[in-house]
Amino acid sequence: MRSLPLSSLLKYAPPHFRPAQPAATLCGALMLTIHHLGHSQSERIVWLCEELGIPYELRHYRRDEVTRLSPPELKALHPLGAAPVIEDGDLLLAESAAIVEYILARHGDGRLRLDPSHPDYASYLYWFHFSNGNLQPVMGRLMVVSRTGLAADHPVQASVQVRFDRVMELIETRLREVPYFAGSEFTAADIMSVFSLTTMRLFQPVCLGPYPGILSYLQRIGERPAYRRAMAKGDPDLVPMLD
C-alpha cells in the first residue's frame, strides 16, 4: 500500500498533531523530545523512556508560582498549554495515555505491554485506562470540592468522597492480590497509575495509611532504577511521595 505524504495526512489530524522541527539526534538517529512540566502527568513519559532505555531530550517547564498553571511556552506548543507533549521527528503529540501507547507501539519492541494472547491482557487494558478514567478524575473532583469549604456531610462533598473511597478500595484490593496492576508483570499500566498515587497528592493530599497494599506496591516501584532516574531528571526538587 502506498504511503501518503505527511502533508496529506495532516489534513485529517486532530489539533494536537502538527509539524514539528526534527528532534535532536544521537549517533545520527532521531530521538524523542519530551516537553515536561514539573509535578505533572508528564513524569509518566520520562519514566517510560527510562524503562525502555530509549534516548530522549528533556525540556523542563515550571508552573506559575501563584496560579500553579503551566507557562505560556507550553501554550505555544499545544492549544491547551498542557504537558506532556512529545516530538518524534515530524510528529507533535499530546495526552499522556496516547503518548505512552504511541511510544510502546513505535519504540517499545513489545516491552511493557501484554499481547492479546496473554491471560492478563484484559487486566492490562483495564488498569492502563483506570488511572485517567477513574482515579485521576475523582481526585480532581475531590480537590475542587474540598476547596469550596463544604461540610463533610454536604451531599456534594459526601458523594465525591464516597466515590473516591470506592476507587481507592478497589486499588487496594487489587494490589493485595497481585504485585502489579496487570498481574505478575510490571507494565505500562503501572506507569500510568503511579502519578495519581504519588505526585498528584501534592495537589490533593491523601493519607495512604489505611491502604497497606498500595504502600507496599509503591515501595516496589521506588526500588526500580528507571523510576528513580526518571524522577531525579524530571523533578529533582521533589522527593517521590511513596508513603
Q: Residue 1 domain-assigned? A: no
- For residue 41, what is the domain's CATH number? 3.40.30.10
Instruction: Please check whether residue 113 lies inside any domain of the structure.
Output: no
Q: Are 129 and 220 within one domain?
A: yes
Per the structure block, which three cell numbers stand in for 33? 523530545
Number of compact structural domains in the chain:
2
- Describe the chain by its helix, strand, coil percentages, rounded to 5: 50, 10, 40
Task: Return the percentage of the chain with pLDDT > 70, whole number.
Answer: 87
pLDDT in tens, 105-128: 999 999 999 999 999 999 999 999
Distance CA(42)–CA(12), nearest Å, equals: 26
CA separation for the pair 88, 103 (Å, rounded): 9
Non-local (6+) Cβ contacts of 47 within 8 A are 191, 194, 226, 227, 230, 231, 234
Residue 224 confidence (pLDDT): 98
Q: Are residues 162 and 80 in the same domain?
A: no
- Asked if 128 and 95 sit in the same domain, the reply is no
Assess whether 76 and 128 both reside in one domain.
Answer: no
pLDDT attached to residue 232? 97
78 and 173 belong to one structural domain: no
What does the pLDDT read at residue 65? 72
Least confident stretch, 6-10, 33-37, 68-72, 239-243: 6-10
Task: Give me the CATH number covering residue 175.
Answer: 1.20.1050.10
Domain that holds residue 216: 121-224
Are 87 and 180 found together in one domain?
Answer: no
85-111: pLDDT as tens digits: 999 998 999 999 999 999 999 999 999
Q: How far apart are CA 185 and CA 197, in angstroms?
A: 19
